[in-house]
Amino acid sequence: MLRTSARRAALCLLVVVLLAAGHREPPRAAAVTLSTSSRWVVDPAGRRVKLACVNWPSHLEPVVTEGLGRQPVGAIAGMVVSLGFNCVRLTYPIALATNASLSSLTVRQSLLAHGLAETAGGVEVNNPGFLDLTLMDSLKAVVNALGEKDVLVILDNHVSKPGWCCGNDDGNGFFGDRDFDTDVWVDGLGNMATIFADVPNVVGMSLRNELRGPRQNPEDWYT
């Protein structure tokens, strides 16, 4: 009995040691420049960097990053870190990068236009500097706040037209859908790449979320 207990204790200790040895702190965005080596993402020393990302939506109708009416942006960024993530997949609609009449709206104007006066009031309390930023500058400010906490960012093109995702008939699902003009999409991706090219904590782009809908042609994918 004692021998069995000792073996169990030794096994538990071994598991703890192995887990501790396998643990790596998330990379600090301000301290690393990422590149690729074969299929791996690596730091300047050639060590693999594993991205642990969480979604943060900014693609809904107001095109305002969710939660800014509830918590200061720095507090939300800090929570991302405290939960063990080192990366945010920050969503956006292509229209933000291609439609000047949309991107030039202020956060206040967009929220009020969508009947979200209560949210605007919350932003005024928690993030007062955001209300009179344009929608594009608001997204930049969120990225910068994440960078201040050394959180990496992947810009995720979630939809073309701002709105909830995803439905098979929402017009955002597949190339050539009502709201998925491929030329506009490519322009938008290029614009976002240019805008964030010199932002050190932006480390990648997700080109599109969940291709779907009746126009898709999986029989031609040859996978």
pLDDT tens-place string over residues 28-82: 544 467 889 999 999 888 999 999 999 999 999 999 999 999 999 999 999 999 9
Q: What is the dihedral of CA 61, 67, 68, 73, to 10 degrees?
A: -130
The predicted model scores a pTM of 0.83
In a domain, 153, yes or no: yes
Split into its structural domains, the chain has a count of 1
- Residue-level pLDDT at 28: 53
Element (H, E) at 13: helix 2-22
pLDDT tens-place string over residues 69-117: 999 999 999 999 999 999 999 999 999 999 999 999 999 999 999 999 9
In a domain, 98, yes or no: yes
- Domain membership of residue 188 as a residue range: 53-210
- Residue-level pLDDT at 118: 98
Res 11 pLDDT > 50 = no
In a domain, 90, yes or no: yes
> Is residue 223 very low, low, confident or very high in pLDDT (cuts 50, 70, 90)?
low
Q: Which long-range contacts (CB under 8 A, 24 or more apart) does 214-220 make?
A: 214/168, 214/169, 215/173, 215/174, 215/175, 215/176, 215/177, 216/173, 216/174
- Residue-level pLDDT at 35: 87
In a domain, 65, yes or no: yes
Res 4 pLDDT > 90 = no
- State the Cα–Cα distance between residues 16 and 194, nearest whole angstrom: 46
In a domain, 8, yes or no: no
- Residue-level pLDDT at 215: 84
In a domain, 110, yes or no: yes
In a domain, 44, yes or no: no
Coil, strand or helix at 187 = helix
| Region of poorest pLDDT, from 2-16, 129-143, 160-174 | 2-16
CATH of the domain at 197: 3.20.20.80
171/15: higher pLDDT: 171
- Residue-level pLDDT at 2: 36
Res 16 pLDDT > 80 = no
Question: How far apart are the two ends of the chain, measured CA to CA in Å?
Answer: 55
218, HSE (Cβ side, Cα atoms, 13 Å): 4
| Region of poorest pLDDT, from 22-26, 99-103, 163-167 | 22-26
Contact criterion met (CB below 8 Å) for 57 and 93: no
pLDDT tens-place string over residues 182-216: 999 999 999 999 999 999 999 999 999 888 888 88
Mean pLDDT, residues 112-139 taken together: 98
Q: What is the mean pLDDT of the chain?
A: 87
In a domain, 185, yes or no: yes
Q: Report the residue count for the chain.
A: 223
Contacts of 96 (CB under 8 A, 6+ apart): 63, 102, 103, 135, 136, 139, 162, 188
